[in-house]
Amino acid sequence: MVDRIAEPWGTRTPYAAGETWPVRIDTHLAEGVRAQDVERWVPSASILHSNGDGLDIAVKDGRIVGVRGRGHDRVNHGRVDPKDLFGWQANNSPDRLTRPLVRENGVLVETDWDTAMERIVSRSKAQLAEKGPGSIGFYTTGQLFAEEYYTLALIARGGIGTHHLDGNTRLCTATAAAALKESFASDGQPGSYSDVDHADVIALYGHNVAETQTVLWMRMLDRLAGPNPPQVVCVDPRPTPVARAATVHLAPRPGTNVALMNGLLHEIVANGWVDEEYVARHAVGLEELQMRVRDYPPERVATICDVPAEQIREAARIIGTAERLLSTVLQGFYQSHQATAAAVQVNNIHILRGMLGRPGCGILQMNGQPTAQNTRECGADGDMPAFRNWANDAHIAELAKLWNVDPIQIPHYAAPTHAMQIVRYVEEGSIGMLWVTATNPAVSLPELARIRAVLSQERLFLVVQDIFLTETAQLADVVLPAATWGEKTGTFTNVDRTVHLSEKAVDPPGDARADLDILLDYARRMGFTDKDGQPLVKWSTPEEAFEGWKECTRGRPCDYTGLTYDKLRQRGIQWPCNDENPEGTERIYENGQFWSAPDYCESYGKDLVTGGAVSPTEYRALNPLGKAVLKAAAYVPPHELPSDDYPLQLITGRTVYQFHTRTKTARAPQLQQAAPEVWVEVSEADAATWDVGEGDLVEITTPRGEVRARARITGIRDGVVFVPFHYGYWDAEAGDEADRHGRAANELTLTDWDPVSKQPIFKTAAAALRLVERADGLPSPAPTTAASAPVAPVPATRGGAPAEAEEQLLPLGGTR
């Protein structure tokens, strides 16, 4: 038994390069429930991050009573993340939404499904009649199932015919997709998690994998604990567990990633670490890249990033001489002003070094949410289903044929509207109805004062489909109670293309319904039909929807045609899975084969600095043979830089114990107690400058607002403060409304985005700090176990008996 709050990564099971990662089966059951009491174990996968860990849900008396990792799952070999070990308790929470709500005289009151749905249908019809399809918007998530996204995409694009459908994946993985589209002209992750087993160098860019995909980090830790461990390069301004384990830790000034990457590329080119033969055969764009990085010698980069030139050289040497290089990229790169430009430079390293499509040579342009990959694949974001190219008329015609609608019905006159633009249309009133599914924008979008104003407008009809009465739901006109993971069936795909089936284990509470059923009900009530007058949506169960989705993917990169629910009941399988690859595909882009041919590719690309679209003709001229594309970019400083009034740089992000806006993790006592309140991380030097001690209450201010939090003094780089974004609007302890203090990080963030991926900038704003109140000896509520570890000793974060989980270690190669 291990206290998995005190030890989030559990016990080490070391292994050597090329060996199989040992099995360790993690189990946590509700207090008083023993394994022999469990009536059924229902196969599913993890839902509180993107790793896609196979696990079984324990059921007793019609309720979820725990989870157990699946030893034979290719992703986790039995291990379970702390959030997944304890987070299922939220399903059983007494404050789940169980009945639809409608707003009457300003207050939300319970009602039945007919009343709630008829309100939505009559408003939809009125919008369509008066203002047309462009007056309806959908804002979805990275947390539903593929079947649900595909149905939503069909309804929004094929049924209503609106251009305004995007996901919170815009805040999350838009840059992962954009970077892959720029380099390989298609989404689709080149890597496999098993690359960890083979790599001799692992480079992590703005990715705190230790806290955000803990099981992937366990795999890396086990390699680090074994013979011939890989070298690790970490790029992060904070002393994350990754940074502490790194061979080289580069801690750049926030927002300088492109300069740093150009510096690394400069060294790779200058030292002749380029695989010239690979590049000549399989890539275009070398000359432009060489020219661009010439301007970034380590000394210049050192001044921009405030990182020693020697460290840049050292990191470049490790990466440039690696034989099997695995790279991962996440929000430290994605949520900044040159997000795509920076992420693309990581792809460039792999293309230049010929490190693709071989064991150990993977790129993971990481996802964050469990099902974000599916939002993108299914076209429930700013993409077309199955990686079709919105700018290629033949692709739209194909989709129209499949859906049996007129191509004109599917808007494709421009790129689909991105989430920040949808918010803008709501703000100015051209979108009069917004349907939000499984996301909590009143906490997670930037500049919350603005978002609250936009979402609470009288003229807006806001539908919120959630499992709790969130900050966003409280602003809605209609609230629909949804079933969630464990209460409904569907598939989802993780970052290394592994598809898992998650089966219904228990009934949802009260009248709550599966998201798929809600969407199907809407389609039926709206009477959407195809060209022949038949129902547009031709399925009524998840499995039928999956069959429909498979047809949509036929011949596309994310080919699901070889998968069935039955096959997925046995194990998770990586797409493409079709007649040629019936067991799935571990690595794509083997032998320099890409999906980038002009007629086939998902995207023609964009200019990395302005975001201007490359035209079909230009793309054809640039890349006629469908190779990989090396794309260069000059460094541009962040838009909001420190000033006299706001001398610090604010970054925001996550802790290992909480998930997003905490609707689930705050309802799991072990997780909530481990990180109960917002805090701010401050360096020792900055703490001295502003006369702040451990635990002191401080106010962080930006031009948008202020937040009060208790200071944690850490090894974060000087000049930078970090606030976790998990905590909703208000300081719960403060008394009446007037006294309440902001505690949501997004009170502080700015309305601005990367020009290519349109991903908002959550990392870098200019900020000021002020002492409000001394601590009285109490430390900050920040956890001690990971990036927020204090420099001076404070009591360690522990979970005690309620946080104990069983670990079953099996001999090397053993499965279960």
Ligand X SMILES: Nc1nc2c(c(=O)[nH]1)N[C@H]1C(S)=C(S)[C@@H](COP(=O)(O)OP(=O)(O)OC[C@H]3O[C@@H](n4cnc5c(=O)[nH]c(N)nc54)[C@H](O)[C@@H]3O)O[C@H]1N2
- As measured in angstroms, the least distance from the Cβ of 11 to ligand X is 20
Q: Please report how close the Cβ of residue 251 comes to ligand X at its closest, in angstroms.
A: 8
> CB–CB of 553/595 below 8 Å?
no
CB 105 within 8 Å of CB 94: no
Q: Which is nearer to ligand X, 391 or 473 (CB)?
A: 473
Q: Which does 45 bind (CB under 5 to 8 A by kind): Mo ion, ligand X, none?
A: none
Report the length, in residues, of the chain: 816
User: Which is closer to ligand X, CB of 257 or CB of 603?
Assistant: 257
At which residue do the structure tokens 């970490």 appear?
A: 234
As given in the structure block, the two tokens for residue 296 are 């970034």
Cβ proximity to Mo ion, 420 vs 478, nearer residue: 420
The smaller minimum CB distance to ligand X, of residues 15 and 727, is found at 727
Would you say 255 or 320 has its CB closer to ligand X? 255
Q: Which of 619, 201, 555 is CA-nearest to residue 398?
A: 555
Is 443 a residue that touches Mo ion (CB under 5 A)?
A: no
Binding site residues, ligand X, CB under 6 A? 49-50, 83, 141-144, 168, 171-172, 205-208, 211-212, 235-238, 240, 252, 254-255, 257, 330-332, 335-336, 368-369, 437-441, 443-444, 465-468, 470, 482, 484-485, 515, 651-654, 656, 658-661, 663, 725, 745-746, 749, 762-763, 787
* 491: β partners: 501
CB nearer ligand X, residue 49 or residue 712 = 49
The owner of tokens 């539903």 is 144
- Give residues with Cβ within 8 angstroms of 602, minimum separation 6: 181, 185, 186, 187, 383, 387, 388, 389, 557, 595
Residue whose CB is less far from ligand X, 3 or 530: 3
Give the footprint of Mo ion on residues 357-386 (CB under 5 A): 368
The token duo for 781 is 């509520």
Cβ distance 361 to 350 under 8 Å? yes
CA distances from 485 to 72, 184, 438, 488 (A): 21, 33, 12, 6
| Assigned token pair, 19 | 């060996």
**Closest by Cα among 418, 402, 407, 417 to 556:** 402
| In the complex, least distance from residue 524 CB atom to ligand X, rounded to whole angstroms | 19
- In angstroms, what is the minimal distance from the CB of 454 to ligand X? 15
CB of 367 to ligand X, least distance (A): 7
Using CA atoms, how far apart are residues 668 and 655, in angstroms rounded to an integer? 15
Q: Candidates 63-71, 172-180, 208-216, 742-750: pick the segment binding Mo ion (CB under 5 A).
A: 172-180
Q: Which does 371 bind (CB under 5 to 8 A by kind): ligand X, Mo ion, none?
A: none
DSSP assignment of 60-81 equals: ETTEEEEEEE-TT-TTTTT---
Q: Which does 255 bind (CB under 5 to 8 A by kind): Mo ion, ligand X, none?
A: ligand X
Q: How far is the CB of 168 from Mo ion (least distance, A)?
A: 7
Say if CB 142 and CB 371 are below 8 A apart: yes
Decide if residue 254 touches Mo ion (CB under 5 A).
no
Q: Which of residues 591-650 bind Mo ion (CB under 5 A)?
A: none
CB of residue 53 to Mo ion, shortest distance in Å: 17
If one asks whether residue 172 binds Mo ion (CB under 5 A), the answer comes out as: yes
* Nearest distance, CB of residue 493 and ligand X, angstroms: 15
b/e 1-19 (16+ beta carbons within 10 angstroms → b): ebbbbbbbbbeebebebeb
d(CA 46, CA 500): 10
Q: Quick one: 172 or 707, whose CB is closer to Mo ion?
A: 172
Q: Give the count of residues interacting with Mo ion (CB under 5 A).
A: 2
Cβ proximity to ligand X: between 23 and 176 the closer is 176
Residue among 746, 134, 83, 42 at smallest CA distance from 430: 134
- Residues at the interface with Mo ion (CB under 5 A): 172, 368
